[in-house]
A = this chain, B = another copy of it.
Amino acid sequence: MPGESTLVPQRKHLNAGDVLFRQNQPVLAFYPLRTGGIKMEYESSLGWRQVTGFALPGDTVGLEPNDVRTFSMSAIALQASDCCVVSVEAAKASMADSAVQAATQAMLRRDALRQHELLVAIGSMKAAQRLAMLLLDLAAEHRRRGIDGGEVMLAMTRVDIASYLGLTLETVSRLLSRFASVGLITVRHRLLHIVDPAGLAEVHADPDRITLRGPAPEQNRFASF
């Protein structure tokens, strides 16, 4: 479609599982995500890998702080996705514009903040708290995009979530079921509905609010009469 090339420099389409860029490859461009979903994955020197973040439409993938020359992690499509491709030369030019620069800085700062919160979460919170954190974060991101109502279609698998939170997929699955059974959410595979954000926030804050074993949620609060 030659007629379309008005403002858009370059586009790229990805299918689920496609690698947008790979860790340690030279940084040639960055990628504002238009549709779909992407996961960021870091592979350590020993070969252990960990999902370090999820990108939603509107996020910019591949922005590296301190203009490094190689990507610090890989980006992999979770579903069919479309993104723009902004070459580093184009980026350099845009950086002259202080508004663009400020926006970029803001993005990098948000990323760094998220990364720190994740570290603390994994390092010192229980499984339920971590998951509650992720769900609240997802909800907030959707809200920031105007997609309200607490309905989220998860792009990632349980394995991805587990990796991100430093858990196993079984624990994530059980926890989601538990959250649902106490009325915090509803889930059917990828379709998530956040029913009680305040309740989730309590779970996030209180280590003992929800446990995997614990007493089953009371079916009848008058049972003892």
A→B interface (CB under 8 Å): 42, 44-46, 48-50, 52, 65-68, 72-73, 105, 108-109, 112-113, 115-125, 163, 165-166, 204-205
User: Quick one: copies of this chain in the complex?
Assistant: 2
Question: Of all chain B residues, which has the CB nearest A113?
Answer: B72
Q: Point out the residues of chain B lying under 8 angstroms from A166, CB to CB.
A: 122-124
Q: Contact: A49 with B120, CB < 8 Å?
A: yes
* Bound CA–CA A10/B46 (angstroms): 42
Min CB distance A159 to B, Å, is 12
Q: Point out the residues of chain B lying under 8 angstroms from A117, CB to CB.
A: 44-45
Min CB distance A73 to B, Å, is 8
* Bound CA–CA A123/B67 (angstroms): 27
* Bound CA–CA A165/B122 (angstroms): 10
Min CB distance A53 to B, Å, is 11
Known pairs A48-B124, A65-B108 / 9 extra A-B pairs, C-beta < 8 Å: A44-B117, A45-B117, A50-B119, A50-B120, A66-B105, A68-B105, A72-B116, A119-B119, A123-B166
Q: Contact: A109 with B45, CB < 8 Å?
A: no
